[in-house]
Structure 1
Amino acid sequence: MTTGTDGTAMTGADRPLALTSLLVAIVCLWSYLDARDPLTWWMEAAPVLLVYPLLWAVRMRFRTTGLLTLLIAVHAVILLVGAHYTYAEVPLFDWVRDAFGFDRNHYDRVGHLAQGFIPAIAIRELLLRTSPLRPGRWLFAIILFSVLGVSATYELIEWLAAVLVGQGADAFLGTQGDPWDTQTDMALAGLGAILAQISLGRVHDRQLKRGEL
């Protein structure tokens, strides 16, 4: 038996978190090295740097399901890729832009869709395990509007960064000249929350019922 970063003993149940943490740590190191804009890197990578220590700290009291553990890792990789290149300059999506004649790099759209998709499952797990709520219309609606609230909060953080940092926050904002960027980002987060609940709700319920942590 080994010991976790918080000093508590690690068990076999910690394996999914340990494996995904290792993967994310490797991607994080790559992302940090030679990042295109160091200030943007810290702002974009901050959620990853905060969430993983928290997951390890609370794992004995709230061990996430395998589904949520995997989704958090996917979201972390999306954030770290955007942090390395900046969202407006991810090479693969530059190629997609040029190949299909788009007017912008759409990687930030992927990021905001994920900003709704993954938090929806995280909020769902938190509510189902800590509240009297059960799967149904009310849970669906509460998760959707919670995700929209998270998205709006993130947009406010971007606005505050722009006010405090000025032009240095341009890469963090990533609007690429789109006057409707903020509204589109929040709409995509809402769409992500809807898609996550429709596509993964039953799988998530089965994991919670079986205690697949």
Structure 2
Amino acid sequence: MKAMWILVFLGVLAWSGLDPKDYVTWGLEVFPAVAGGLILWATRDRFPLTTLVYVLILVHCVILMVGGHYTYAEVPLGEWFRDATDGTRNNYDKLGHFVQGFVPAMIARELMIRLDVFNSVKWRDFFIVSFCLGFSAFYELIEWWVALLSEEAADAFLGTQGYVWDTQSDMGWALLGAVLALVLLGPLHDRQLRALAGGR
């Protein structure tokens, strides 16, 4: 599993860095994936995660790398979906923001449970959803700061495509992702957490 994870991660990273549309945008989009990969590598023995969370993180990294290669507004999958649904914009960025809520929710859930942070499941889930929404809002601030600092990379990094409610809808998709992750994956995650605890 670890070898396959590393192979996919490095393979997609290498591909994404080969002649991307814009190296500045590529660096901005891929940086979180690389940072996350390094953190996982550093903690792999001391604090291994469940297989579910590792797979979700890899999926998120791949989405970031693909978006970095093409820029989110020009990812072919998003263009295909736009044309197939007679849409007006490339919504690959909405997939990215949905996953930006979905995956961190499961990472936070794993940390909260394993570190025994909350006694109440309701408060734990409320915190996780709030954290994901806050993280999404912070990412929107980062996009704004990048736009202020680098006009050249701003349009590609922001990916608003003229949509006036882009920031709000990005956070809405992240919120939806966080809630769905907790609802849909909670039981599977609990089983994997028990197996992980039993194997240590």
For the criterion TM > 0.5, the same-fold answer is yes
Are 1:128 and 1:134, in contact at CA under 8 Å, matched by a contact in 2? no
1:23 aligns with 2:23: no
1:87 aligns with 2:72: yes
80, 87, 90: which one aligns with 1:102: 87
Find the aligned partners of 1:132 and 1:206 in 2 and give their Cα distance. 19
Q: TM-score, normalised by structure 2?
A: 0.95
121, 128, 144: which one aligns with 1:136: 121
Find the aligned partners of 1:112 and 1:83 in 2 and give their Cα distance. 14
TM superposition shift of 1:52 = 0.8
**Aligned-pair Cα RMSD in Å:** 1.3
TM superposition shift of 1:67 = 0.4
Stretches of structure 1 that go unaligned for 5 or more consecutive residues are 1-15
Q: Map Cα deviations across residues 39-95 of structure 1 (whole Å, 9 max, x no partner).
A: 100000001111111111112221011000100000011111101110000112212
52, 60, 65: which one aligns with 1:67: 52
184, 189, 208: which one aligns with 2:174: 189
Structure 1 match to 2:17 = 32
Q: TM-score, normalised by structure 1?
A: 0.89
37, 42, 52: which one aligns with 1:52: 37
Give aligned-pair identity as a percent: 50
2:49 aligned counterpart, secondary structure: coil
Aligned length: 198
Stretches of structure 2 that go unaligned for 5 or more consecutive residues are none
Structure 1 match to 2:193 = 208
Find the aligned partners of 1:17 and 1:175 in 2 and give their Cα distance. 36
Structure 1 residues 132, 164: CA separation in 2 closer, same or farther (over 3 Å shift)? closer
Note the 1:89-168 alignment, pairs <5 A.
Answer: 89-133=74-118, 136-168=121-153
Find the aligned partners of 1:60 and 1:135 in 2 and give their Cα distance. 29
Find the aligned partners of 1:66 and 1:182 in 2 and give their Cα distance. 32
1:42 aligns with 2:27: yes
Structure 2 match to 1:4 = none
2:53 aligned counterpart, secondary structure: helix
Find the aligned partners of 2:117 and 2:20 in 1 and give their Cα distance. 45
Are 1:88 and 1:176, in contact at CA under 8 Å, matched by a contact in 2? yes
Are 1:121 and 1:196, in contact at CA under 8 Å, matched by a contact in 2? yes
Find the aligned partners of 1:193 and 1:155 in 2 and give their Cα distance. 17
1:109 aligned counterpart, secondary structure: helix
